[in-house]
Every structure is written in structure tokens, then in C-alpha cells.
A and B are shown apart, each in its own frame.
Chain A
Amino acid sequence: MIKKSFLGLKKPELKYNVETLPFEDVPIPQEATVFLKTGRKFGEKLFKVGDEIKTGQKIKGSPDSLNYVIAPVTGKIASIFSYSDALGQSYDGIKIESSGSDDWDDQFKGEATLETAIEFLEFAPGKCSFSKFSDAPGKIDTIIINGMDVDLEGTVNQGIVKENSLKLKEGIDFLKKITGVSNFILVVPETLSSEATNAGATVKTIPAIFPNALPTMIIKNVLDKVVPAGKKPEDIGFAVISAENAVAIGEAFATGKVPVTKALSVVGKDGAVTNIKARIGTPISNILAKCNITLEENDRIILGGPMLGTTTYSKDLPIEPDTDAITVQSESDSAQISTYPCISCGECVRICPVNIQVNLLGRFAEYALYEDAEENDLFSCIECGLCAYVCTARRPLLQYIKMAKHELELIKLSEAINE
């Protein structure tokens, strides 16, 4: 954890990890778990305990549902349980007992079209929703390939740019073909600028300082465009795809197999980083065992990096296609948050990359004044977490902001239903 420097005049700088490490393989787990978003319909599911599942097989809840998961291993469904994430979205957890070897499913033919990508590749590592290309054809004119990990410490995308710049080119070529977008920008840290030139995209380097790798910041710093508050990059014609995702898509179309292996960085309690590749659905405990990390009472397991990751409550839960890192933190290293009131010291206001008055916004969000929060630039927030990182009173500011956004969404949803 990077502490405040003795001299406090300068803003703290959180540097990204730019050391690229090779990837070690984690063996196929005995049991893999995937989470399928539960649809609104209750009824007979298309799968049940005991079903034979092949690697790469698409699992759906009902025939007309758009949600699906891809089975990462071959074997039998051992159990089905319900699971809900931090925001209350419910899922069907499907635990597949692996047979130890792979028997590939043949539904995916490797035909390079956007429909195939939507049908089979939304669960690919890095998780990209391809429907944004089909929703409004021609609207997206630039695809940004993010060659950096969004969060600190992780080096997944950096590692992939370094190792696989030719595969990245293959991925970009397929993406060109299926989306019809010709403008590709590859964003890398300074250290990888020579490797990145092979990828066949315009290379832009950004300073390796948090939060420059966040999509909104890339668009602002590299392309000098501003994403309006509450909008997504695709609304102004940009799609941001991680380098890992681009490589996975290239491999999928080249080999005809749906990618089921996720690269991730594991950060131990001492800060040591190990890069590994594991099947999606591998329990966290397997990965920790591989990296020789032992858990103790009151530790935290963070899915993601130290700034943006979410803690999880069990080491038996699996890694998901968007788990870029696992960070393990002992209690003494963790940020001890408090319920103290804001003292308006202004540290958050000075560090905010998008100039939000976080001292006011945090108060409004804390006291459930969500409309006031919206007027105070709630939706400009890019959720980088720097405000909470520097907060003298140790207020969970990012949590307040996320909560306010979530509550406003619920309010708007219920208003829409009532009309």
C-alpha cells in the first residue's frame, strides 16, 4: 500500500505496475462454477443436476433468454445453487464436476460474424458486450484496445501485449471484420511502445499513473474527447476492449474454440505479483494454493485490484471472465474505513480527476439526498476511488457514490414502471 509522502504539497501518485511477467498455468480444476444471470421467468430450466456438459458448451436458462454462460470444463453438473452479487442481482450458480480432460463442444463453428460473437463470445475472458455494435450499426467509429490493466498492481493486459502482439494483430483483424470498424487505437504504457507497433493499430502511450487507464480517462487524455455525464463511451462512438479480450476473440475465430482460459494477476499479502492462466470457474482457493498464499483470520480476498476490486466472502467462489486480478490483503494492510463525518479538508476535491466537489457529493449521497447528488455531478464520477484513498476522515466515498447511482437507477426504474 502506498502511503502519503512526508511532504504533502504534491498530489500522491499511484503508479501502475509495468513489470510484465510470464503467465503460469493453473491445472484444470476438479469443480468449476459459472454464474448465469437469472431471468425473470420462473419455470423449467434447460439444465439440471447430472447433465453432461462439454467444454465450450453454451448454457442457457430458457430458450428465448439472451443470457448464457460458456462451460469452461467437460463433466457433469454437480449442483445448482442461487447466488446474488453485491448489487443484489441474482444468479444461478452452476457447479460442474470436471472429468479431467476436455471434450470440445461443436456448436461454435468459428464463423467470423458479429452474430456469432454475440452468440458465443460474450463470456470470453475480458467480457465484452458485442451488442453495442449491433444496436446502432455505424455509430461506433473507433475501437480502443486497452493494453493496460485498469486497476493498480495487475499486469494482465501488459503481459498479453508483450507476449502476444502478433495474436493481438490477429484479434484486431477479426474485430475489424466483424464490426466493420477500421479505426483501432492501442493504448499502452511507455515501456511497451515497441512491442505494440506489431499489432496493426495506432499506438498511443499514456503515463502509467492511476487512473489514466480508465476508459473515460483514455478517451479524455488520448483522444481529447469528453464522455458526457451519465453516458458511456459507446454513446460518443468509442468502444473500449481490453487487449486480453481482443486476443481471445482472435484465437476463438482462428481455432474454432470458445476461449475458456482467463489470465489474471495474483497479488499476495506481501505485494508480490504472480501472473497465471486458469480456467474460468476455477475456485479462488485453487489459485491461492498455486501461488502459495495462505489465508488467515480476517484477511480480505479482493476480486480485482486494490482501488476498484470487490471483496468476496468465500475462497470457494470462482473466478469470472472479468476477474483481472485477485488481491489478498491482511487486516493490518487494509484501508480501515469509518463512519466519521466529512471535515471538508478538500483532499478529495483536489485529487478528483474530473473536478467533482466530492465533499458535497459524499454528504448528499450519505444522507440519501440523491437528487441533490445528481445535481452535484454524481454521474460525472468515473469511480476511480481516489477520493476515498486520500480521505482524512476515511469515509467510504466511492461506496456512497456507487450507492447513490444505484438508488437513482432504482428510482428511475420504478418511475418508468409506474407510468
Chain B
Amino acid sequence: MNNNNKLIVSPAPHWHDGSRISIRNINIAVATLPALLVGISIFGLPALRVLTLSVGSAMLAELIINLTTKSEISIDDGSAAISGLILGMLLPASAPWWLVVIGAFAAIIIGKQVFGGIGSNPLNPTLIGFAIVMISWKGHMDFDEAFLNYDPGFYMAYPLAAVKHFGAAAAAKYSLMDLFIGNQAGGIGAVCGLGLLIGGIYLILRGYIRWEIAVSFLVGIFVTAFLFNVANPEKYAPPMFHLLTGNVMIGAFFLATDDTTSPVNFIPMLIFGLGCGIMVVLIRCVGFYFDGVILAVLLMELLNPLLDKIRPKAIGKVVENA
């Protein structure tokens, strides 16, 4: 036996279940594929252009920050790529290149890196990037304007805008099946509810996102929309219409479930999801914006640290003055 073998010393435990941030992100990327493929087939090459540009810009932004702050290179964990990918899925296929680049840079730099990088961001970087471009360049982000000269072969008016302007009667023009399989105007990866549902179920089964958040988000939307619909069926669209339009499905499985910015305990997760759902419908029905998903999730993420105060009591905890 060779006497000079060097041994490695490391802290316990010496086993690990093999999970990694990069594996987690690869799985999220895989889960976006069904919705992405449908999106690309509907919107064509321009959609692919937006997606690749968005992913690339996000990774470039992360790399630039890594190099300028002389920190560890962190683009290999895939979280910047996922932020860029989901941002691309939310954008219309017609988005100009500079808008995509600005959105991706804003997402990574303002949304994540100014707070200290992965794990330190209080808000989902994708949502920050999207909210910035959504508020700054309304024209480019208006789906009716974006698809003005575009005929994919189905009714192309943006459903949520139609409902906002013309009341619940407009909702009748859309068949729920068309909305579910992705024949509607919207973000590249956000239109196909079916694909997002498949991806979401995959992530839930693999344990990468929490069903509590996704389900309570959808339930929150359904119940609130149902109440509005019952109160005034002429003005407010039926609940299923709300579930299948805009960014609801991508929100339920890819936005609200973001690790860092969502709660970790059971009851807070339910409150978080329900709160997001209720806010979405409130913004849509009472508020100014067509689609409330982005802003609703951002709002609930602000509450996340407070929600996680609702926690089970640690075993053995001695409560003084109780």
C-alpha cells in the first residue's frame, strides 16, 4: 500500500441525494419544451429569435456581472438561462431585439444581481425584467398591436383586452379548446395551456416545484373569477376563460413557484398561491391592466418573508411567557 495517499477531509454528511441547482434548472427547461414547441409552431421563427436572444442576453448579463464584480462565474448553474427563457416565453414573438435585450439585462442585473445574485433576490428576476419592459414600452407589449399584420389562422384579438373592452360577450368568441391548445394571442410560451400543464405536472412529480402553490393559484383564480361572474355575468368573463388566457398557466407552474421568492411552509404556500390568484382576477376585473399575473405575483412575493413567519413549531422549542 502506498503510504503517501492524500486523504480528503470534509464535513458530515458524506452522502448526498445527488440534486444540484443545474439539474433542477435543466428539468425546468425540459418542462417548458411542450409549451415552447407549440409556441414556436404557431408564431414561427420570430419566436425562436426572441427566445434565443433572451436566453443569450440573460446569460451574457450574468457573465458581465460575474466578471465586473470579480465573483465566481455562475452562469453554469443555469438559473440565468432559465430567467431568460421564461422571460422569452412571456414576450410576444414580435418583440424588437433591443426590447428583449433590455428585458433580459434588467431581469438579471436589477432583478437579481444587485441583491447579491442567486438566492438573494426578493422578487423573481424574470418578473422584474418583464414588468420593466411592459410598463416602459406599452406599444410593443400590446398583443393586439404586436400581431396587427399577422394571420395565424385563428381569432387573433388578445382575449383579455377584448373582455376588458367589450365585456363577457367577447369571451364567447373564443372556444375554450382553442385557448387550451394555444390558438390565441399572447406570449410565445404562455399561450399553450396544455403544454404548460404537462410541463407543470412533470415538475410537480419530480419534486422541483410545489403543487401547493400551483393548485392554490389556480383555485384562487377560479373562485374569484366565479364570484365576479356570478355577480355580473354580462361584464365579467366566466372562470374557465380566466384560467386559460393570459399568463395564468405559465404563472401557476413557472412564475409563482420560483424557489427563492415563494414560501417554503405548507400553509404559507397555500396563502401565497391563493393571494396571487385573487389578485390576478382583481387586477383583470377591477384594475387597469389587461393581465394581472405578473403584478399579482410580484405583489405576493413582497409578502413572502411575512408569510413564512407562519411556521410549525420546532420540536423541543421552549416558548417563554407562553
Given contacts A9-B204, A310-B12, contact A4 B18 (CB under 8 A): yes
Chain B interface residues toward A at CB < 8 A: 1-2, 5-21, 24, 77, 79, 116-120, 204-208, 210-211, 259-265, 308, 311-318
Contact A307 B12 (CB under 8 A): yes
Known: A227-B316, A228-B318, A313-B7. A335 touches B14 (CB 8 A): yes
Interface of B is mostly: loop
A385 in contact (CB, < 8 A): yes
A344 within 8 A of partner (CB):
yes
List, in ascending order, chain A residues with CB within 8 A of B264's CB: 344-346, 349-350, 357, 359
The verdict on A357 contacting B16 (CB below 8 Å), with A300-B9, A343-B21 known, is: no
- Nearest B residue to A153 via CB reads B15
Q: Provide a sorted-by-A list of 16 A–B residue pairs whose CB atoms are within 8 angstroms.
A: A226-B316, A228-B318, A229-B318, A231-B316, A297-B5, A311-B11, A329-B14, A337-B10, A346-B265, A357-B308, A380-B316, A389-B13, A390-B17, A392-B24, A394-B16, A398-B12
In this assembly, does A178 line the interface, its C-beta being within 8 Å of a C-beta of chain B? Answer: no
Q: Which residues on the A side are within 8 Å of B308 (C-beta)?
A: 357
Q: Does A22 contact B (CB under 8 A)?
A: no
Bound state CA distance, A359 and B259, in angstroms?
A: 12
Q: When A300-B14, A343-B119, A393-B21 are in contact, do A331 and B8 touch as well, CB less than 8 Å? A: yes
Counting chain A CB atoms within 10 Å of each CB, which of B10, B11, B117 scores highest?
Answer: B11
Give the contacts of A299-347 with B (CB-CB under 8 A): 299-302, 304, 306-315, 327, 329, 331, 334-337, 340-347
Chain B residue numbers with a CB within 8 Å of A300 are: 7-10, 14
A302 to B314, CA, bound (A): 30
B319 → chain A closest CB, angstroms: 10
Q: Is B11 a contact of A398 with CB atoms below 8 Å?
A: yes
- How far apart sit A319 and B228, CA to CA, in the bound complex (Å)? 72
Residues of chain A in range 333-380 having any CB-CB distance to chain B below 8 Å = 334-337, 340-347, 349-350, 353-357, 359, 377, 379-380
Tell me whether A380 and B13 are in contact (CB under 8 A). no
In the complex, besides A289-B1, A331-B8, A345-B24, 9 extra interface pairs with C-beta distance below 8 angstroms are: A226-B315, A229-B316, A298-B7, A307-B15, A334-B8, A342-B119, A344-B259, A346-B264, A394-B20
Residues of the B chain whose Cβ atoms lie less than 8 Å from the Cβ of A337: 10-11
User: Hey, which chain B residues are within 8 Å of A354, CB to CB?
Assistant: 314-316
Name the prevailing secondary structure of the A interface residues: loop
B205, A343: Cβ atoms closer than 8 Å: no
Sorting the interface of chain A by its residue count into under 10, 10 to 19, 20 to 34 or 35 or more gives: 35 or more
A364 CA / B13 CA spacing, docked (Å):
20
Cβ of A193 to closest chain B Cβ, rounded Å: 27
Given contacts A344-B119, A357-B308, A380-B316, is CB(A335)–CB(B15) below 8 Å? yes
A379 to B15, CA, bound (A): 23
Residue pair A340, B11 in contact (C-beta under 8 Å):
no
Determine whether the beta carbon of B318 is less than 8 Å from that of A295.
no
Of all chain B residues, the one with the shortest Cβ separation from A302 is: B14
